[in-house]
Chains A and B, each alone.
Chain A
Amino acid sequence: MLIIALLLAATLTSKTDVPRVQPAELRALLEREEAIAIDVRGSVPFEIEHVAGAVWMPLGQLNQRAGELPEDKLIVAYCTCKAEETSLQAALLFSSMGFSRVAVLQGGFPAWKEAGLPVESNRDTRVGRLAPPASVSCNRNDLTVYAGAVRQYRREMDKTSITIETDEDTVERVTLHHTGSDDPSRFFLIGGTPFTPSDWNRIERKKGELKPDLRAHAWVCADGRIVVDWML
């Protein structure tokens, strides 16, 4: 309660006025969705590792992007600097913009790490360039692809749903409808080649259960056609 009272203080005018939040406190606030963590470092350290769920907003972008932040949550800025130099600047800036509930993470990201709290990384993204398979015949202007790891696969009578965690850090779901059947294979390719009955053993360990760690390219046309190309 004391912390909350401190955080409700009026406009901050000096770095010493800025409330500090301990890592464990921040985690609890985040879990209760009462706070939002703002990573004010540059893009590289953020990409390498950051507080799970944090929003990347480097100091140089605060003026332009502060409007993205909710006004009903505590804003907790953090940096890598142990004395919170950069995050304190950010907190004062937020305060001057009218945000009434701002704070900094005591000890910054190193303290969060040392406490063993959850982090996320955006690294090791697979990169490349894809060309559509010849059997995807729709106008290329109306085509897109979701390429990545298959995270959910549900094959049942009438339809099959596939959820792909894409290499571009999004989650997409496609559902193939095959009324009166449990066989979606007419929508499938494997390595760009036609899918044959013998290929079921290459993607499923038993009927309806996908092998682990499979990747797929889901080619989606605006006219309704979809092709799932399994990558082994």
Chain B
Amino acid sequence: MHRSLLVALTLVLCFGAFADDFDFDIASTGSKKERTCATPHPSAQEAQAQEEYTNMLRDMMKERGGRFDMESNATTVTVNVYFHVITSTSGAGNISDNMIADQIQVLNDAYSGLTGGANTKFRFQLVSTTRTANNTWWTAGYGSTAETDMKTALRQGGAGDLNFYTNNPGGGLLGWATFPSSYSSKPLMDGVVCLYSSLPGGSADPYNEGDTGTHEVGHWVGLYHTFQGGCNGKGDYVSDTPAEKSSAFGCPTGRDSCPRGAGLDPIENFMDYTDDSCMYKFTDGQAARAASLSGTYRGL
């Protein structure tokens, strides 16, 4: 959290002397929540893949003096992208082919390191585009029956193929995605969904440079938010993204929400919530994690 924010919150907690409309307290218990889902134990194949991954990281650290660097892994993989444009029956959301092409370019720039981050193994190519006018699917949100119906009808390809849907989910949701590990149990639900106006040149300023797509595809290849776990615990399971207490918005340079931990908040990382213009990078550790999980669960 930005230090000024921390100071302000501390004042609130200590004195509570705000005007009525601004009175609030906020507290983080610091405790971890208990998960109750009974996910199956990893198979021998998964365990073996993870062991190889750990060995790879260890070897890379030795070679690079303790720093991961995926550029040494020159092999790239091209992901087929099936685009699905959902519109209202009146035609709202009918984004152009040029916007779709620009979105693919934004993904390639981000994942190749062109924008300033790690050079991941992923490249993207558009295979086909479907356009569907359906008022129910147009506002389909996460976990809705409409989402299930939409994806069941439209999804194409296998575990390593990216299905990219655009619609207008509402509720401030810019997009959502499924993790690689979810594919085997729910293959038809696999893919990313983005607010149509978040594509490059859309109207969702300051989220209209295509980085909602970059962010959601990050989840699709296995990445968590940079603020996963807050300041404690395992965080986002990537060692080179500093811990972050909670999501950042705008572009709060110098934000340091976990002052006891090393490094400033990774506000420039695609897996935070900052403005599109603020985020420009994945880290080498994220590249390695994404390569591992996508290799294990998507065959990429």
- A residues with a Cβ closer than 8 A to B are 41-49, 52, 56, 58-61, 80, 109-110, 113, 120-133, 139-146, 161, 163, 165-166, 168-179, 186-187, 191-192, 217, 220, 222-226, 229, 231
| A121→B37 contact, CB < 8 A | yes
| B41→A113 contact, CB < 8 A | yes
Contact for A130 among B172, B216, B232, CB less than 8 A: B172
Per-residue contact bits, chain B 200-235, to A (CB 8 Å; 1 contact, 0 not): 000010110000100110010000110111101110
Taken together as a complex, chains A and B put the C-alpha atoms of A142 and B18 apart, in Å, by 18
| B251→A130 contact, CB < 8 A | no
B176 within 8 A of A: yes
Taken together as a complex, chains A and B put the C-alpha atoms of A191 and B251 apart, in Å, by 25
Knowing A41-B50, A168-B229, A191-B170 touch, does A121 contact B35 (C-beta < 8 A)? yes
Kindly state the interface size class of chain B when it binds its partner: 35 or more
| A169→B229 contact, CB < 8 A | yes
B248 within 8 A of A: yes
| B172→A144 contact, CB < 8 A | no
Nearest CB on B from A154, distance (A)? 12
Q: A132-B249, A217-B172, A222-B4 are in contact. List 19 more A-B contacts (CB 8 A).
A: A42-B50, A42-B53, A44-B49, A45-B42, A45-B46, A127-B177, A127-B179, A129-B176, A144-B246, A145-B249, A168-B230, A170-B32, A172-B246, A174-B24, A175-B25, A177-B20, A192-B170, A225-B24, A226-B24
Contact for B28 among A56, A59, A173, CB less than 8 A: A173
Q: A residues within 8 A CB of B5? A: 142, 144, 222
| A173→B33 contact, CB < 8 A | no
Contact for B33 among A45, A46, A56, A169, CB less than 8 A: A169
Q: A residues within 8 A CB of B182? A: 124
Knowing A44-B292, A223-B8 touch, does A123 contact B33 (C-beta < 8 A)? no
| A223→B42 contact, CB < 8 A | no
| B249→A143 contact, CB < 8 A | yes
Q: Sorted from nearest, which 3 A-B pairs have the closest CB atoms?
A: A140-B250, A177-B23, A128-B176
Q: A residues within 8 A CB of B246? A: 144-146, 168, 170, 172
| B54→A42 contact, CB < 8 A | yes
| A186→B33 contact, CB < 8 A | no
Taken together as a complex, chains A and B put the C-alpha atoms of A217 and B37 apart, in Å, by 22
Q: A residues within 8 A CB of B216? A: 127-129
- B residues with a Cβ closer than 8 A to A are 1-2, 4-5, 8-9, 12, 16, 18, 20-35, 37-42, 46-47, 49-51, 53-54, 57-58, 61, 142, 170-179, 181-182, 204, 206-207, 212, 215-216, 219, 224-225, 227-230, 232-234, 237, 239, 245-252, 255, 273, 275, 289, 292-293, 296
| B47→A172 contact, CB < 8 A | no
| A224→B33 contact, CB < 8 A | no
Q: A residues within 8 A CB of B61? A: 60
Nearest CB on A from B1, distance (A)? 7
Nearest CB on B from A214, distance (A)? 14
Nearest CB on A from B279, distance (A)? 10
Q: A residues within 8 A CB of B33? A: 165-166, 169-171
**Residue in A closest to B1 when the chains form the complex, CB atoms:** A144
Taken together as a complex, chains A and B put the C-alpha atoms of A44 and B12 apart, in Å, by 40
Q: Count chain A CB atoms within 10 A of each CB in B16, B41, B206, B207 and give the residue with the most.
A: B41
| B250→A143 contact, CB < 8 A | yes
Between-chain CB contacts (< 8 Å), 28 pairs: A42-B54, A44-B42, A45-B47, A120-B34, A125-B224, A126-B142, A127-B179, A128-B175, A129-B175, A129-B215, A129-B216, A131-B207, A132-B172, A140-B249, A141-B249, A141-B251, A142-B250, A144-B248, A161-B25, A166-B33, A168-B225, A169-B228, A174-B26, A179-B20, A186-B21, A222-B9, A225-B22, A226-B24
| A176→B228 contact, CB < 8 A | no
**Residue in A closest to B32 when the chains form the complex, CB atoms:** A169
Contact for A124 among B39, B47, B172, B255, CB less than 8 A: B39
| B37→A123 contact, CB < 8 A | yes
| A48→B22 contact, CB < 8 A | no
Taken together as a complex, chains A and B put the C-alpha atoms of A46 and B39 apart, in Å, by 11
Taken together as a complex, chains A and B put the C-alpha atoms of A143 and B5 apart, in Å, by 9
Contact for A191 among B22, B37, B171, B289, CB less than 8 A: B171
